[in-house]
Amino acid sequence: MMSERAPLAPPRFPDMPDIPGVVLASGHCGIRTPGRHDLLIASLPEAATAAVRLTRSRTASPAVLWCRRVRRYRRARGLVVNSGNANAFTGQPGRAAVRATAEAVAAVLGCKPHEVYVASTGVIGEPLPLPAIVKAVPAIAAGGGESGGEAAAKAIMTTDTFPKGACAETSIDGRRVAIGGIAKGSGMIAPDMGTMLAFVFTDADLPGHVLDDLLGPLTDRTFNSITVDSDTSTSDTCALFATRAAPAETPIEAADDARLAAFREALEGVMADLARQIVRDGEGATKLVTVTVRDAVRQAHARAVAFSIANSPLVKTAVAGEDANWGRIVMAVGKAGVPVRAERVGISIGGIPVARGGSVVPGYDEAPVAHHMQGSEISLEVSLGAGTADATVWTCDLTHGYIAINADYRS
């Protein structure tokens, strides 16, 4: 289900770098309407390593459960993703379908099933049309479909209005390294893991345990720092794959190796870009909102307050209505469940102080704040005046469009 392109969408899909060893192929297997790609197969070289972060939902899909089992190998030869059907809450048939899909892809790629990662996205509770998927796998994997990053990003879309991609080039030990990623997500977006699908590829020569150590903290700062509607999906998957085609002068065995500084920064940039694109494509969204909480005792407190603000329907509808109603931010701070002393709290909107020391700032003029609220990117800042920890999360406004999209989702 794809509607008119979101107003916050980037102007175009990026020119993705060539990553030796990564082949992305997509095609139609029969889940979606005819002509709409609904299956992505990525093939990787024998040396490829992998790391993954997955939803902690108690109703996680069979694909997530499969990835939980195979991630311990930290190897990957393939990735298969279907859209239009989440294969979640489908019992034993759903679990069998995941294994059969992995086996079908493994047979084509010449690898073991546990070297194939599986992901699904779409409607929950409906049986996966396994025969159609298994039948389509050989032709798509052999190049019978469409190749390239943009086609791959389109194949995994559901209510998304635009394909999401991001890339960067950096270096390790003076050798060029490329990073490219695709993602999908528009609704059912809240952190835990990141309530979406994201797949990032690099030719860096990194073992699986290093990828894993890199991915965890970066996921927390990017995909785990976004929310559209506070609803956590059953299918969230963020995977990082390395083909190892660009070796360093000497092997890198630890994520804190100083030679990874530029790579880590570039990887975080790609992941943050994808995360913000998901928020920009939030169902019905017209404004991107950055919520920053500073001066907390600990980061967990800062994140709790930031998400309390970002998930508040009253705050989000005020943003949609371009209403500089900062009292709703006060409300959200107070209900966050962390220790807060009102007389120390400060609030700014668009960098303009509106409240400080437990009350409105002297001589407050709402006009410049109201002007900021009319823009497409809104900044909300809160100081708790209690410490040095901070956190930033991204959200969007809540409009009539969100209701329309979700009321009509299966129509």
Catalytic residues: 195
Q: Are strands 346-349 and 377-383 parallel, antiparallel or unpaired?
A: antiparallel
Name which of 88, 86, 90, 66 is nearest 76 in CA terms: 66
* Residues in contact with 12: Cβ distance below 8 Å, sequence separation at least 6, in sequence order: none
Q: What gap in Å lies between CA 321 and CA 324, rounded to an integer?
A: 9
Tokens of 69: 């089992």
The answer, yes or no, to whether the previous bond of 157 is cis (omega within 30 of 0) is no
Q: How far apart are the first and last CA of the chain?
A: 9
Which amino acid belongs to residue 153?
A
Q: What gap in Å lies between CA 334 and CA 294, rounded to an integer?
A: 15
Q: Are 160 and 2 in contact (CB under 8 A)?
A: yes
* Residues in contact with 151: Cβ distance below 8 Å, sequence separation at least 6, in sequence order: 24, 26, 37, 145
Q: Are 401 and 317 in contact (CB under 8 A)?
A: no
Q: What gap in Å lies between CA 166 and CA 266, rounded to an integer?
A: 11
Name which of 114, 56, 47, 126 is nearest 84 in CA terms: 126
Name which of 226, 211, 213, 307 is nearest 273 in CA terms: 226
